[in-house]
Chains A and B, each alone.
Chain A
């Protein structure tokens, strides 16, 4: 179905992707810097840790993926496992 003469799209060009990622990294840095400038309300003592949410989000997601990958070793079966 794919047309051979199809022009490469915006997302097909690696330079566009790397530019988008640079903007994204910039925003991440900005959010951490903002943490030191803006006065946040503190509802919980852990929130005193600088950039608590950023650190927690990053570590949480890495943990999530690492654990989920490990779960595959035990839980993953072939696609027609229940049909047999």
Chain B
């Protein structure tokens, strides 16, 4: 059946689904939106490895679709993520969100299958332009501002990518997107760095990360599920393709894994806690890419695969809480297990997965990266990752379920979220357990690089359980001693303070003084011109002083025309 369908680029089924969502309504729209990812995944299964639809563009070879093990793994992942997110959003009536969500997923697919840098750039920008509407669709002032800052960062990333790509294409003579690395000379080095930073912005490198923690928690409850699934994972894919084994990435990654957990502990908005935790998980992947061995790279992409599902699940449970109660701050929630028991259990499954409990998905991928770090002699990195792994359990594994569903009873009584939301969460939770329990038949079967790894041995299980149980013990102990920081309504300053408060505090007065100078200059010029006019104008006679500028009666004009015509007539006879 698959072979009888016409071969389409992998992004097209979802794009067609999103266009259909513009025109269709009701059950028909729901059906088409659900079918689009299924159709896309079947279509993908029919694609052999290779390059499709390659064409010449201004003397360069473009490869719009390249299918290999790495791209196909992300391809399946994105179809799965889109399918879950569509189910989760089925109750939403807002056409904008459906269209933006599906076309955003389509852009992510286009990006991971792009075989050349120019195609990559096109989808890179489309990712930004489609996703921002999921933020704006919240239709609040905060979401509008956050969306603006988001799109500015994303467009900056796109511009850097284009500049870097053009330098690279000119100097290498090829547009192919393959391993780039940072070891180059001259202009090529500049190009490589520009591309690296462009990827880094989307990957939420430290100091470039605030678009994520700023915008994701301001998006709609359903929009955040799409957002958390695609952008950073496309960046992880791009780094794995372009910069595997770049040692700098190890240190960037370990910073990403560590610093956000401090912010996550004191953050009140639970979706923002998850946004910080997203950066922390991407940090693990970036470390894996930086180490660059087959095991580490496999660990990075396997963790990306699992993260989309368990982070999606956690985001979905918090989205359900926001949808049902209208609240998301830890300080206002608590005791929800009484009215949302199913959501509570699903949240705990997500928490166990992100914390890498044995038999849950995080365990089978995170441990690959840790093992690779030890094997390559990155001792400090390994210790810091171990700390980050304990910290994840602390803020995402315990804090999220505890403050939302348990802690002190906030008195909020609600019901379970709509059935489609529950179903989406149940699918994600099921996948977390299936992948965690049978990794060899699921995520490991898709891994692009050759490496054997066995997550389940007594050492791994015992040490991981020790780490997690004693992290939990620390939480219990701190709570009993009243040392645990309470959830407080607050804003915590991060690097975005630089461009949201500090820079404006200089730029706004600077701009105002520029406006002032412009006005003064305008006034001065005006005065100068008036003076020049006044000096040549006779106010008493109300006429200009200059001979030619004076007004003449019509008769004089007629006389002159007659003289001119006579002149021409005479010339004619000469």
Binding site for B on A (CB under 8 A): 1-3, 6, 9, 11-12, 21, 24-25, 27-28, 31-32, 34-35, 38, 40-41, 43-44, 46-47, 51-58, 60-62, 64-69, 71-72, 74-83
- Measured CB to CB, the closest approach of chain B to A66, in angstroms, equals 8
Q: Which of B14-22, B55-63, B154-162, B386-394 contacts A (4 or more CB under 8 A)?
A: B386-394
Additional pairs, 6, CB under 8 Å, beyond known A54-B467, A60-B471, A76-B490: A28-B469, A58-B474, A65-B485, A68-B263, A71-B263, A76-B488
Contact between B474 and A57, CB atoms less than 8 A apart: yes
Known: A9-B338, A61-B394. A51 touches B466 (CB 8 A): yes
Q: Is the CB of A61 within 8 A of B391?
A: yes
Shortest beta-carbon distance, A52 to chain B, in Å? 8
Which listed segment binds A: B195-203, B240-248, B475-483, B548-556?
A: B475-483
The 8 A CB mask of B245-283 against A (1 = contact, 0 = none) is 000000000000000011101100000000000000000
Closest to B142 in A: A83
Question: Contact: A62 with B474, CB < 8 Å?
Answer: yes
Asked whether, in the complex, the Cβ of A54 is within 8 Å of the Cβ of B466, the reply is: yes
Q: State A5–B375 Cα separation when bound (angstroms).
A: 60
Residues in A with CB closer than 8 Å to B490 are 72, 76-79
Q: Which residues of B contact A80 (CB under 8 A)?
A: 491
Contacts of A24 in B (CB 8 A): 469, 472-473, 476
B374 at the interface (CB under 8 A from A): yes
Can you give 8 A-B contacts (C-beta < 8 A)?
A12-B409, A44-B382, A53-B386, A56-B383, A60-B387, A62-B474, A75-B492, A75-B494
Residues of A near B511 (CB, < 8 A) are none
Q: Which residues of chain B have C-beta atoms less than 8 A from A64's C-beta?
A: 261-262, 265, 387, 390-391, 394
B412 contacts across to A, CB distance below 8 A: 1
The complex places the Cα of A12 from the Cα of B383 at a distance, in Å, of 39
Q: Which residues of A contact B491 (CB under 8 A)?
A: 76-82
**Contact A68 to B485, CB < 8 A, known contacts A38-B458, A40-B462, A79-B491:** yes
- B515 located at the interface, meaning its Cβ lies under 8 Å from any Cβ of chain A in the complex: no
**Nearest CB in chain B to that of A58: its residue:** B470
Query: Is the CB–CB distance between A28 and B473 below 8 Å?
Result: yes
Are B265 and A68 interface neighbours, CB within 8 A? yes
What are the nearest 7 A-B pairs in CB distance? A61-B474, A68-B265, A57-B470, A53-B466, A57-B467, A58-B470, A54-B466
Check A61–B390 contact: CB distance below 8 A. yes
Are the C-beta atoms of B390 and A56 separated by less than 8 Å?
yes
CB-contact partner of A62 in B466, B478, B488, under 8 A? B478
Q: Are B457 and A35 in contact (CB under 8 A)?
A: no
The listed residue with most B CB atoms (<10 A of its CB), out of A38, A52, A61, A83, is: A61
Q: Are B458 and A69 in contact (CB under 8 A)?
A: no
Instruction: Determine the chain B residues whose CB is within 8 A of the CB of A12 once the complex forms.
Output: 409
Among candidates A57, A69, A78, residue contacting B468 with C-beta atoms closer than 8 Å: A57
| Residue on B nearest A42 in the bound complex, by CB | B459
A75 to B483, CA, bound (A): 19
Is B179 an interface residue, CB under 8 A from the partner?
no
A55 engages B470 (CB within 8 Å): yes
Cβ of B466 and Cβ of A76 under 8 Å apart? no
Docked Cα-Cα span, A56 to B500, in Å, equals: 38
Known: A54-B467, A57-B468. A72 touches B478 (CB 8 A): no
Chain A residue nearest to B146 (CB atoms) is: A82
Instruction: Determine whether the beta carbon of B471 is less than 8 Å from that of A77.
Output: no
Q: Which chain B positions have C-beta within 8 A of A78?
A: 490-491
B262 and A71 within 8 A (CB): yes
In contact, B394 and A44 (Cβ under 8 angstroms): no
A60–B493 CA distance with the chains assembled, in angstroms = 23
Find the B residue at minimum CB distance from A41: B459
**Complex CA distance for A47 and B474, rounded to whole angstroms:** 20
Question: Nearest B residue to A59 by beta-carbon distance?
Answer: B474
Contact of B471 (CB < 8 Å), options: A32, A57, A81 = A57
**In contact, B471 and A2 (Cβ under 8 angstroms):** no
Residue contact B411 to A65, C-beta cutoff 8 Å: no
Q: A40-B463, A78-B490 are in contact. Are A57 and B390 (CB under 8 A)?
A: yes
A53 near B470: Cβ-Cβ < 8 Å:
yes
**Nearest B residue to A74 by beta-carbon distance?**
B493
Which of A9, A43, A74 counts the most B-chain CB atoms under 10 A from its CB? A43
Interface status of B545 (Cβ within 8 A of chain A): no
Q: Give the most central of A9, A47, A56, A74: most B CB within 10 Å.
A: A56
What A residues does B494 contact at CB under 8 A?
A: 75
CB-defined contacts of A75 to chain B, threshold 8 Å = 266, 492-494
Q: How far is the CA of A77 from the CA of B500 in the complex (A)?
A: 14
In the complex, B406 has a CB within 8 A of chain A = yes
Contacts of A32 in B (CB 8 A): 466
B411, A1: Cβ atoms closer than 8 Å: yes
Determine the residue in chain B with the shortest Cβ distance to A45. B379
Is B560 an interface residue when CB atoms closer than 8 A count as contact? no
**Chain A: which residue is nearest B391 at the CB level?**
A64
Knowing A28-B470, A34-B462, the reply to whether A79 touches B489 (Cβ < 8 A) is: yes
In the complex, whether B537 has a CB less than 8 A from a CB of chain A is no
Q: Specify which chain A residues have a CB less than 8 angstroms from the CB of B472 in the assembled complex.
A: 24
Cα(A69)–Cα(B267), bound, Å: 11
B465 at the interface (CB under 8 A from A): yes
Expressed in whole angstroms, the Cα–Cα distance for A2 and B500 within the complex equals: 41
What is the CA–CA distance of A24 and B470 in the complex, to the nearest angstrom?
10
Q: B379's closest neighbor in chain A, by CB?
A: A44
Q: Which of B337, B412, B457, B490 has the most CB of A within 10 A?
A: B490
Contact with A along B412-434 (1 / 0, CB 8 A): 11000000000000000000000
* A contact residues around B500 at 8 Å (CB): 82
Q: Which residue of chain B has the shortest Cβ distance to A9 in the bound complex? A: B338
A66, B488: Cα distance in complex, Å: 16
A72 contact set on B, CB distance < 8 A:
266, 485, 490, 492
B95 contacts the other chain (CB 8 A): no
Whether B484 lies near A31 (C-beta < 8 A) is no
Q: Does B49 contact A (CB under 8 A)?
A: no
Q: Which of B465, B477, B485 contacts A31 (CB 8 A)?
A: B465
